[in-house]
Structure 1
Amino acid sequence: MTRTLNLGILAHVDAGKTSLTERLLFDTGAIDRLGSVDGGDTRTDRGAVERRRGITVRAAVAAFTIGDLQVNLVDTPGHPDFVAEVERALPVLDGAILVISAVEGVQAQTRVLMRSLRALGLPTLLFVNKIDRAGARDAALIAEIGRRLGVPAVPMQTVTGLGTRRAAVTLRGLDDADFRTELATALAERDDRMLAALVDDVVPSAGAVRRALHRQTTTGRFHPVWFGSALDGTGIPALLAAIRDHPRPARPPVDTVRGTVFAVERDGGERTAYLRLWSGSLQARQRVTFRRPGPGGRVAEHTARIGNLSTVGGGDLVAGGIGVVRGMALRIGDEIGDTATRGPQFSPPVLEAVVRPVQPGEEARLHAALQQLADEDPLIRTRTVPGGATSVLLYGAVQQEVFTERLAAEFGIGAAFEPVRPVCFTRPAGAGHGLYAFDRHGPNEFWQTVGLRVEPLPPGTGNRFLREAERGLLPRGYHQAIEDAVFATLHEGIHGQETTDCAVTVTRLDYVAPLSSAADFRALTPRVLRAALADAGLRVHEPAYRLELEIPDDTLSAVIGMLAGLAAEVGQITTAADGWRVAAVLPARLLSTVARRLPGLTRGEGALWHSPGGDLPVSDRSGSPTGSPPPPAARTSPSNRPSH
């Protein structure tokens, strides 16, 4: 029976990640010609922008086999601007290869990725690439891996001809007592029996060491180090053997179908979605219900038949496999069944830019194109802003450049980005009420009554829609129109800033048939809701990050000075393996400044981790953002103003 392993390839940018992917596919016969990053013809960098720039922008999947093991290989971006792609890939993996350059060594992003892999407990092999390049290191790099990644580092091979085209590797055998002792010492950190043997000056047998190595590797507690060159294939046979021998054991399948869409791409206008199936099995024409998380905490459901379905490596789609679904309107994050995402969550984008077409009159086309790009990354949300322009959320400048290129290349639209600004949002400061009540004796702009109450919810709750008015007072379609309008208005925001953590309760409803319609409720509800929010008062908040920086010993004062100048709240400072570990909290809009300055202050050796750190208020006490006009009240006819 064929086993399946979903294996991720991760690395700091330019460590040779995509070249290794290409080599693994070639050496296992999955492709008949080696592509190159410089030549722009690799298997997994399929987009024109990826090939032109020589960087991976989107996660891509390819398959190869080693004996009875099918490996679904997931190539992920290395650039921090595309960290969201890594976020989606990590939870669907069974194991990973973390690529490290033998020349550049452990870099900042290497450390960030390693921390995420260890938090997930993913079995991870370390592959030291570019041993044939001038300046390549082996023993010094092993020490650096142990020190900077905080893991026991044991090379599984010896390297000769290091740094030359004659570089070669030789497997170290467990019949070598010195190697067996070195490996046993590293494994003993998490194996009490092995530790006891070493304390008694007993070198464990080859069989005991082999079993401990397999056990700790498959559970993500030990990370063997392999050497080689992706360009000429040196060391690849040994790496393939390690992949074959150390996959995570397959999860037992169950009857319930559970799956997650983790990648979406377009090819000639057709949408292709990649679905990791956790349990059960899936066939074409099978009817399933997809769940889609939406703004404000809502979860939308839609039921459809699976149309064009195939698998990455061929055969049936069963638990543990990756399916390819074409022609369906699926988005990243769509789920079948209850599939709680596991593992660390990267922060959402904290930058917002307004995009306008270079050619006037193409606003609608630009918005539609940006929406298609956002479907590949649900965190990169888009919305229309006054004047017909489109707002888009971003991680950084490189991502903005890629968006500009893709809009031109794939949609034929020239786009101009305005300067980015931090993403802010509002919360109600208190309770507020809004009401429009029609006059049965007229005249009326609307022949219906809508009363709403807004109240703040605890931070992180999202938005809630509640009813006090009896549902039977209105036809079902009218209720849906009100609910849709409420969520759309909160998402759009009053000052162009989304409102969140808000409970909206319908307190009064009435209508006159046949003078009322669902469209009228959609038009009236936003006016009443804005009046209720104005009554409650809005406070503007911006997201904050918790930072952890690891820096060299002699750079502490410079880094602390930088953080103080950015009004960061510096927390605990502790010693690290080769310097200091500094904790801090600062507004998320300043993260890019820290990331940009840190390499210069630390000779490129500083590493930065960040995680959501709550938010900070930036509004004045009146509830209106500083420098912004007061929120508009609900517009009504002269005889029917909102009452509270």
Structure 2
Amino acid sequence: MLNSLNRRNIGIFAHIDAGKTTTTEQMLFKGGQIRSLGSVDTGTAQTDWLEVEKECGISVLAATTELIWRDTFINIVDTPGHVDFLSEVERSLRVMDGAILIISAVEGVQPQTEVIWHALRKLSIPTLIYINKLDRIGADPYRVIENIHAELSKSAIPIQNIQGIEDSFEGVSFWDGQEQVLEQPLIDQIIEVVSEHDDFILNQYLEGQLISEQLKEKLSLLSKGAEVFPILFGASNKGIGIQELMDAMIDYLPHPEGSQDAPLSGVVFKIDRDNKLGRLAYVRLYHGRIQNRDSIYNVTQGVEEKVSQIRKIQGHKSEDLGELHAGDIAALSGLSHVKVGDILGSDEGVPVHPHMAVPLLTVKVEWEQEEEYPAVVKALQELSDEDPLLDLQWHQEDRELHIKVMGKIQLEILASIIKSRFQLNVEFGQPSVIYKETPKQIGEGLIRYTMPKPCWAVLRFKIEPGERGSGVTYHSIVRKEDLLERYQNEVSRRIPEALEQGLYGWNVVDLKITLIEGEHHVVHTHPLDFAVATPMGIMNGLDQTGTKLLEPMLNFRISVPEQFAGKILHDLSQMRATFDSPNQQEDRMVVEGIIPLSTSMEYSIELASLTKGKGTITTYFQGYEECPEGVLATRERRGINPLDQSKYILSVRKALS
């Protein structure tokens, strides 16, 4: 039976084009998993097996693969680098015991790098930093290290000597801890970082008694504890530094914890489809074991289902394992109800779900033939199971479908996937920015739903603005003697639905709702009266408080030749951006700041045209902020507005009859 000490679960993360897939391909080759190297550019990479990935040359889905190195089984998850597919990265982070963060030696730390880094730190995932592309013109690893210390962590420390740079880059010297192969200044840096966590190491060094093996052992422990972060170097496209990186994965990243004898505990982090096996649920098991034909309980869905097969997937290839042990990752077939994020068995040992990806655009789905409507609905429901952030909105009365996305690249990929998998041609309407609403001030909402009989539900809510990003909090101070518990539970269940459409038609967020008065009638109250009354009471309260619009804001970084500086700064002012003083880097201007999504959606195209491709802009989500006076965005309301109480009651009661 495999010992958990001989296993690693490692995610490969990076900003787009830093070399994740190429690095993974080289690892598979070095580990003997593949006989010849594939290429991202030619569409032959092992982990880019979807047709759309081969065509576009980018990773769209997180791909799992396994290799053996130094008698250790290593599950590797190669994640997408484009910001539009951040949800795939988010789901992969949850199931990793260790990570490799790849940074280009030319571009250095980029916005997506920072987003991933902060998520890794939030989850305390031990991380190796791999500076790639040292053979490229413009590579400057020492500048990148300074960049890492300034933007990521001062506890990141190089553990290799670099032999040459750019055209003369030959490789790295790997420190095995047995002999002094590192230059003394680098040893001094390692001692300095390690001694911040261990006085014994510093004392041994000062007394001249510190041995190299002792230092490496302590560095390994600190790295596995996510307290320090070793930096390695290479040129993945040439296979330079790959073997040393794989050794570091064994030496500096931890093995999975968990007991096979404990009760079952696992999480579904990816859903896929197989022509023969149907729905496949990729599961990271934290405790217990699963065998073919086992029945397992899905805590999230509240159902029990039988596993038909347990398979290891390698691109288009797979094999039946028969059994899945604690600490391992595999795909389960037979679970027809399962969705991404579902907990199996219990949540014991399952990490929290990191929330990085926020869809900022909504689009209407359009199709060619009217009779294709049911098939399009089914296809999008399947895709929403695989990516819950699509948040499919199915308006049956209008026969309309709307989804939420991260950006326009994601729409192109979705259209391609729907075409290849479901043989359906779909198009998307013009993307609209997703705004939100929040109360302007404190107020109360009152509803006395007592006519037409039989009905009786009286509710009074206190509504207060919350801090930005606080979401929605709800509680009741009404005594159960005045309003039965089952009715109070119905009110609580209906609050999210009541907040889906505010005064301007957008979701209402960042508020505190308190039920301060409630009343039922022993004869006239219908079980669903409070389901009807809650939206009317909440909307009455929002009408009293008023709401203000919130818009999504992006952090941005623009780099352009200095002759375009004046024009760019003018454009940024026109787009309502706020930014720091520009930095001069050789013959280029770099400016960073915050900009509204609504004004900058097309700016990457304008920038490329203006600078003839020499200007770049990178962005990532910063948060929602209040719209300035004069900016108004409304969304058409679906259904009857609860503020029109008579019409709303008639509409709902017709549905209840």
| TM interval, short-chain normalised | 0.7 to 0.9
Equivalent residue letter for 1:498: N
Aligned residue number for residue 655 of structure 2: none
Aligned residue number for residue 143 of structure 1: 142
Aligned residues: 613
Aligned residue number for residue 370 of structure 2: 360
Q: 1:346 aligns with which of 341, 351, 356?
A: 356
Equivalent residue letter for 1:332: V
Contact 1:148 1:577 in 2 (8 A): no
Aligned residue number for residue 498 of structure 1: 507
Provide the alpha-carbon RMSD of the alignment. Answer: 4.9
- Please report how far the alpha carbon of residue 408 of structure 1 lies from its aligned counterpart in structure 2 after TM superposition: 2.2
Q: 1:63 aligns with which of 66, 69, 82?
A: 66
Aligned residue number for residue 337 of structure 1: 347
Provide the C-alpha distance between the structure 2 equivalents of 1:432 and 1:620, rounded to a whole number of angstroms: 27
Contact 1:281 1:319 in 2 (8 A): yes
Aligned residue number for residue 281 of structure 2: 273
Matches within 5 A, 1:604-643: 610-612=621-623, 614-616=624-626, 631=641, 633-634=643-644, 636=646
Aligned residue number for residue 299 of structure 2: 290
Q: Is residue 208 of structure 1 aligned with residue 211 of structure 2?
A: no
Provide the C-alpha distance between the structure 1 equivalents of 2:121 and 2:435, rounded to a whole number of angstroms: 32
- Please report how far the alpha carbon of residue 78 of structure 1 lies from its aligned counterpart in structure 2 after TM superposition: 0.8
Cα 1:494/1:114, change in 2 over 3 Å: closer
- Please report how far the alpha carbon of residue 20 of structure 1 lies from its aligned counterpart in structure 2 after TM superposition: 2.4
Q: Is residue 18 of structure 1 aligned with residue 21 of structure 2?
A: yes
Q: 2:328 aligns with which of 314, 321, 326?
A: 321
Aligned residue number for residue 156 of structure 1: 160
Tell me the secondary structure at the aligned position of residue 370 of structure 2: coil
Provide the C-alpha distance between the structure 1 equivalents of 2:185 and 2:619, rounded to a whole number of angstroms: 32
Q: Deviations over 1:608-641 (max 9, x none)?
A: 56543x53257999xx966979946445489999
Tell me the secondary structure at the aligned position of residue 272 of structure 2: strand
Contact 2:4 2:327 in 1 (8 A): no
- Please report how far the alpha carbon of residue 219 of structure 1 lies from its aligned counterpart in structure 2 after TM superposition: 3.5
Provide the C-alpha distance between the structure 2 equivalents of 1:27 and 1:396, rounded to a whole number of angstroms: 36
Cα 1:186/1:45, change in 2 over 3 Å: same
Provide the C-alpha distance between the structure 2 equivalents of 1:454 and 1:9, rounded to a whole number of angstroms: 48
Q: Deviations over 1:241-286 (max 9, x none)?
A: 2222222254354835443322222333932222223344445534
Q: Is residue 437 of structure 1 aligned with residue 450 of structure 2?
A: yes
Q: Deviations over 1:391-416 (max 9, x none)?
A: 21111110111122222222233323
Equivalent residue letter for 1:141: D
Contact 2:503 2:547 in 1 (8 A): no
Aligned residue number for residue 414 of structure 1: 425
Q: Which moved more, 1:467-476 or 1:430-439?
A: 467-476
Q: Which moved more, 1:78-87 or 1:556-565?
A: 556-565
- Please report how far the alpha carbon of residue 436 of structure 1 lies from its aligned counterpart in structure 2 after TM superposition: 3.5
Cα 1:452/1:272, change in 2 over 3 Å: farther
Aligned residue number for residue 380 of structure 1: 390
Q: Which moved more, 1:596-605 or 1:104-113?
A: 596-605
Tell me the secondary structure at the aligned position of residue 405 of structure 1: helix
Cα 1:563/1:219, change in 2 over 3 Å: farther
- Please report how far the alpha carbon of residue 225 of structure 1 lies from its aligned counterpart in structure 2 after TM superposition: 1.2
Contact 1:87 1:346 in 2 (8 A): yes
Q: Which moved more, 1:466-475 or 1:66-75?
A: 466-475
Provide the C-alpha distance between the structure 2 equivalents of 1:620 and 1:434, rounded to a whole number of angstroms: 32
Aligned residue number for residue 225 of structure 2: 219
Provide the C-alpha distance between the structure 1 equivalents of 2:184 and 2:25, rounded to a whole number of angstroms: 35
- Please report how far the alpha carbon of residue 21 of structure 1 lies from its aligned counterpart in structure 2 after TM superposition: 1.8
Cα 1:258/1:521, change in 2 over 3 Å: same
Contact 2:504 2:635 in 1 (8 A): no
Q: 2:39 aligns with which of 33, 36, 48?
A: 36
Aligned residue number for residue 390 of structure 1: 401
Provide the C-alpha distance between the structure 2 equivalents of 1:524 and 1:123, rounded to a whole number of angstroms: 50
Aligned residue number for residue 462 of structure 1: 472
Tell me the secondary structure at the aligned position of residue 277 of structure 1: strand
Aligned residue number for residue 81 of structure 1: 84
Provide the C-alpha distance between the structure 2 equivalents of 1:38 and 1:99, rounded to a whole number of angstroms: 19
Equivalent residue letter for 1:433: L
Q: 1:240 aligns with which of 238, 246, 256?
A: 246
- Please report how far the alpha carbon of residue 349 of structure 1 lies from its aligned counterpart in structure 2 after TM superposition: 1.4
- Please report how far the alpha carbon of residue 350 of structure 1 lies from its aligned counterpart in structure 2 after TM superposition: 1.5
Cα 1:471/1:17, change in 2 over 3 Å: farther
| Structure 1 alignment gaps of length 5 or more | 292-300, 441-446
Aligned residue number for residue 317 of structure 2: none
Contact 2:495 2:534 in 1 (8 A): yes
Contact 1:7 1:71 in 2 (8 A): yes
Provide the C-alpha distance between the structure 2 equivalents of 1:183 and 1:20, rounded to a whole number of angstroms: 25
Provide the C-alpha distance between the structure 2 equivalents of 1:215 and 1:384, rounded to a whole number of angstroms: 51
Provide the C-alpha distance between the structure 1 equivalents of 2:242 and 2:648, rounded to a whole number of angstroms: 79
Tell me the secondary structure at the aligned position of residue 74 of structure 1: strand
Cα 1:321/1:539, change in 2 over 3 Å: same
Contact 2:474 2:492 in 1 (8 A): no
Equivalent residue letter for 1:260: V
Cα 1:580/1:111, change in 2 over 3 Å: farther
Q: Deviations over 1:328-385 (max 9, x none)?
A: 3222222342667458632411222222223335444333322322222222212135
Provide the C-alpha distance between the structure 2 equivalents of 1:364 and 1:540, rounded to a whole number of angstroms: 38
Provide the C-alpha distance between the structure 2 equivalents of 1:308 and 1:552, rounded to a whole number of angstroms: 56
Aligned residue number for residue 448 of structure 1: 455
- Please report how far the alpha carbon of residue 72 of structure 1 lies from its aligned counterpart in structure 2 after TM superposition: 0.9
Cα 1:8/1:25, change in 2 over 3 Å: same
- Please report how far the alpha carbon of residue 549 of structure 1 lies from its aligned counterpart in structure 2 after TM superposition: 5.4
Cα 1:340/1:550, change in 2 over 3 Å: farther
Matches within 5 A, 1:108-119: 109-110=112-113, 112-114=115-117, 116-117=119-120
- Please report how far the alpha carbon of residue 468 of structure 1 lies from its aligned counterpart in structure 2 after TM superposition: 5.6
Q: Deviations over 1:33-67 (max 9, x none)?
A: 54433443443223332222221111121112224
Aligned residue number for residue 296 of structure 1: none
- Please report how far the alpha carbon of residue 428 of structure 1 lies from its aligned counterpart in structure 2 after TM superposition: 5.3
Cα 1:531/1:38, change in 2 over 3 Å: closer
Provide the C-alpha distance between the structure 2 equivalents of 1:635 and 1:154, rounded to a whole number of angstroms: 67
Q: Deviations over 1:481-519 (max 9, x none)?
A: 877666445436675422344648594556989xx987x
Provide the C-alpha distance between the structure 2 equivalents of 1:534 and 1:107, rounded to a whole number of angstroms: 41
Q: TM-score, normalised by structure 2?
A: 0.75
Provide the C-alpha distance between the structure 1 equivalents of 2:464 and 2:307, rounded to a whole number of angstroms: 41
Cα 1:497/1:102, change in 2 over 3 Å: closer
Tell me the secondary structure at the aligned position of residue 272 of structure 1: strand
Aligned residue number for residue 310 of structure 2: 310
Contact 2:582 2:591 in 1 (8 A): yes
Q: Aligned residues: percent identity?
A: 24
Tell me the secondary structure at the aligned position of residue 179 of structure 1: coil
Aligned residue number for residue 183 of structure 1: 186
Q: Which moved more, 1:27-36 or 1:103-112?
A: 103-112
Tell me the secondary structure at the aligned position of residue 185 of structure 1: helix
Tell me the secondary structure at the aligned position of residue 413 of structure 1: coil
Cα 1:171/1:315, change in 2 over 3 Å: farther
Equivalent residue letter for 1:329: H
Q: TM-score, normalised by structure 1?
A: 0.77
Provide the C-alpha distance between the structure 2 equivalents of 1:305 and 1:641, rounded to a whole number of angstroms: 39
Equivalent residue letter for 1:376: E
Equivalent residue letter for 2:419: A
Q: Is residue 565 of structure 1 aligned with residue 536 of structure 2?
A: no
- Please report how far the alpha carbon of residue 105 of structure 1 lies from its aligned counterpart in structure 2 after TM superposition: 5.9
Provide the C-alpha distance between the structure 1 equivalents of 2:514 and 2:180, rounded to a whole number of angstroms: 71
Provide the C-alpha distance between the structure 2 equivalents of 1:84 and 1:158, rounded to a whole number of angstroms: 35
Tell me the secondary structure at the aligned position of residue 243 of structure 1: helix
Tell me the secondary structure at the aligned position of residue 77 of structure 1: coil
Cα 1:626/1:261, change in 2 over 3 Å: closer
Aligned residue number for residue 266 of structure 2: 259
Q: Deviations over 1:447-500 (max 9, x none)?
A: 434444444255324264869697999997x99887766644543667542234
Q: Is residue 99 of structure 1 aligned with residue 112 of structure 2?
A: no
Equivalent residue letter for 1:156: Q
Cα 1:620/1:79, change in 2 over 3 Å: closer
Aligned residue number for residue 229 of structure 1: 236
Cα 1:311/1:5, change in 2 over 3 Å: farther
Q: Is residue 124 of structure 1 aligned with residue 127 of structure 2?
A: yes
